[in-house]
Amino acid sequence: MLQKYILITILAAAGLWGCNKDSLDASITVDSNFQAGGGNGWTAGFSGYAATADSSQLDTVAATALLPRGLDTTQYGYRILSRYSKGNMFSYLKKRVTGFTPNKSYEMTLQVDLATRYSASSIVDKVTFKAGVSTIEPLTTKLTSGIYAFNLDKGTGSQSGKDVLLIGSIASSNPDSQYYTLKRYSNDGQPVTLTANNQGELWFYAGTDSDYKDTTIFYFDRIIARFKEL
């Protein structure tokens, strides 16, 4: 259980954690690994469902939990369960990151490790991983049509929206659906440039966009964002 904490301690000692004041260019690393059952400031949300949906149509559960079979079951992740039998649902985590220079530009890379067990094409073709960053808070808002919608442009289904940075398949590398494997999504090698808002903050989100009508369960194992001030 202490493996990730040990790694964090080593990184901090090496000057690679947080703000590196010894570097000519200020750098920040935000590393969330959900150990000891902690959410690391991430909170869950769900969108896409009708306000009239009842428990026979809709089921959502979000909490930190020990990782499942196939992974290190002594370690924690953020577990997201969702089911919406009537249409598309977006299940996501979000986090506010502060401490940036207001209106300052940064070069950023993002990495998300998601645990999945789905390899059947009937499921994989209907569920897409998406993640993004924004200067405004990702929220679920109720529309006049009675639908609880996501307020950022994430796109629909497997299509990407303008607020999506990472997108990909949730297909597991293990054909045995009883066991989870980790999928890594990253723009490493292709950093993006973004600007903090007036409060010196940025908002992150990561989740699954699903048109699958039955239950899906995913675990977020680790989310890392690295910034270099420009």
- pLDDT per position in the chain (230 positions), as tens? 434 433 333 233 333 334 433 333 568 899 999 987 778 899 999 999 999 999 999 999 999 999 999 999 999 999 999 999 998 999 999 999 999 999 999 999 999 999 999 998 889 999 999 999 999 999 999 999 999 999 999 999 999 999 999 999 999 999 899 999 999 999 998 999 999 999 999 999 999 999 999 999 999 999 999 999 99
Residue 101 lies in domain? 3-229
- Total domains in the chain come to 1
Tokens of 189: 């090698």
Q: Is the pTM for the entire model greater than 0.85?
A: yes
What's 117's domain CATH number? Answer: 2.60.120.260
